[in-house]
Amino acid sequence: MTEALECQLLVIGGGSTGAGVAWDAALRGFQVILADRGDLATGTTGRFHGLLHSGGRYAVRDTSSARECARENEILRRVATESIEDTGGLFVSTPQDDPEYADRFLAGCGEAGIAVEEISPGEALRREPRLNPKVRRVFSVADGSIDSWKLVWGCARGAEQLGARILPYHPVTALLREGDRVVGGRLRDLRSGGDVEVRAECVINAAGAWSGQIAKMAGCEVGVRPGKGVMVAINHRLANCVVNRCNMPGDGDIVVPSHSVSVIGTTDTPVEDPDDIEPTAEEVAKMMTAGDILFPGFSQARALRVWSGARPLLPKSAVGSGDDRAVTRSHTVLRHAERDGVAGLVSIAGGKLTTYRLMAKDTVDAACAELGVERTCTTAETPLPGSTGRNYYRLADHQADFEKGRADNPIICECELVSQADVLEAARRHPKGQIDDLRRVLRIGMGPCQGGFCAFRTAALLHGHGEYDRAEANATLRAFVQERWKGQRQVLWGQQLRQARLDAWIFQGVLDIEHLPT
């Protein structure tokens, strides 16, 4: 039996742009349904280095994108504070970098309206003691670290409070057309196995790197060009702030502090299929070695895991070199009624997480034009749920909060300080969620043990409280362990190899998870 739903706007894609569209549209009074093929933020949004851009990385090559990042950075610091760690950032000119680039960088920041201050190498080393002591020039900017899952769930939660429906694990199997108009979509509920038919006045294609695939369902084309970016997490914070090389962007030239770890990124390789982006050992080795230029000894640090994301890039008309770093980071909104003669469909492509709010605004503006209505965007003034004042995330505050109730609240994950109460509350907010879904909310399994101790505790806890039956607990534990393993294979050396061996003894030798009844 097919479930039938109706709405004004059907949003396809649950990353930062899709969730931002749902939040923006709900604030404007639209009836919204958002659908994603997996959990929210499991595509590109959940697979990047966590940088809140100041715009500095694009100051020389892409002034338009740099200006957008600088403006949106300021706005997000007002409306999405719960998701942000205000680390600040440095652009450092090392002996391996072009010394003339520093002046070009400074001029580009001025043109793009990026707040920048040159500081002495001595001051930079005081802030970052592990920094290369041979840096020649250093610039301070308003970079930061942003938790993409907190951001996306904030948008989704806010939209739901205004009446929107959020449907994770509902991939689109077809777009519905009547003549020259798209009138909705057919979804597949992966949890129940049933079909859902959604009739909508306008469909918004916010599928990012997969937007071309969605557009084809309506006989349209979106010329998105997926770009593979590889990132590596290190088991502790090597830096207090974001550190970039002051040079033309390249591989392994940025280190971002993210919660209890550091992330180095990133490569940039064009790919045909955004799902075919498995990182290689060579890419990992290249970035670990590149890290030594910023932080001597970086290549000897313990790498926890590696992952790849697919950027939804739009080629410039003049690009012919095959260099994805020459592709604009700005975004484009397509009204297919104007370009392809297919009404009722709007696509958004390009952009980046820092500019998600602007992308959502432009997209909902286009949907308003499609429907012939005028409704004002208020996302620049309306804080997301949980973001009040200047409540930036601070790692030290998290530990202090945890210590307050530690005696009466057993710990589940030592690495990320997740308690029993945290797990149970998250499970109630995400019914039918897998352990991997809870990971995105709580960061379970993202610390140095990569789930070696917290995964089976979580499964047992939720089984004991009736969230899973025995078969479900065993199945979700096995799936979680397998998913964590995928990101470790390319970094199995040194201490991480020892940790992986210990985890294998726990899961294979003690628990024998391959033979648990499911």
Of 333, 388, 380, 385, nearest in space to 24 by CA: 380
Domain layout of the chain by residue ranges: 83-144+226-307, 395-515
Strand (E) or helix (H) holding 151:
helix 148-161
If one counts every other C-beta atom within 10 angstroms of the C-beta of residue 454, the result is 28
Fold of 83-144+226-307: D-Amino Acid Oxidase; Chain A, domain 2 (3.30.9)
Decide if 249 contacts 325 (C-beta within 8 A): yes
Q: What is the reported pLDDT for 113? A: 97
- Distance CA(261)–CA(356), nearest Å, equals 24
User: What pTM does this model have?
Assistant: 0.93
- Distance CA(492)–CA(168), nearest Å, equals 33
Question: 401: Cβ–Cβ under 8 A, 6 or more apart, which residues?
Answer: none
Decide if 51 contacts 256 (C-beta within 8 A): yes
Per-residue pLDDT of the chain (518 residues; tens, 9 = 90+): 789 999 999 999 999 999 999 999 999 999 999 999 999 999 999 999 999 999 999 999 999 999 999 999 999 999 999 999 999 999 999 999 999 999 999 999 999 999 999 999 999 999 999 999 999 999 999 999 999 999 999 999 999 999 999 999 999 999 999 999 999 999 999 999 999 999 999 999 999 999 999 999 999 999 998 999 999 999 989 999 999 999 999 999 999 999 889 999 989 899 999 999 999 999 999 999 999 999 999 999 999 999 999 999 877 543 333 444 445 568 999 999 999 999 999 999 999 999 999 999 999 999 999 999 999 999 999 999 999 877 787 777 767 776 776 667 889 998 888 999 999 999 998 888 899 999 999 999 998 888 999 999 999 999 999 999 999 999 999 999 999 888 888 898 888 899 889 999 999 999 999 898 87
Q: Please give the biggest Cα pair distance in the chain.
A: 69
- Distance CA(370)–CA(182), nearest Å, equals 12
Supply the DSSP symbol for 506: I
Q: What is the reported pLDDT for 260? A: 87
Q: Are strands 195-205 and 345-350 parallel, antiparallel or unpaired?
A: parallel
Of 351, 312, 358, 389, nearest in space to 20 by CA: 358
Give, in degrees to the nearest 5, the angle at Cα 46 between 41 and 47.
Answer: 145
- Distance CA(343)–CA(200), nearest Å, equals 12
- Distance CA(517)–CA(470), nearest Å, equals 8
Start-to-end CA distance of the chain, whole Å, equals 27
Decide if 496 contacts 302 (C-beta within 8 A): yes
- Distance CA(228)–CA(267), nearest Å, equals 7
Q: For the chain, what is the total number of helices (H) and then of strands (E)? A: 15, 22
Q: Cis (ω within 30 of 0) for the bond into 378?
A: no
Strand (E) or helix (H) holding 337:
helix 336-339
Supply the DSSP symbol for 343: B
- Distance CA(23)–CA(363), nearest Å, equals 12
Q: What is the reported pLDDT for 328? A: 57
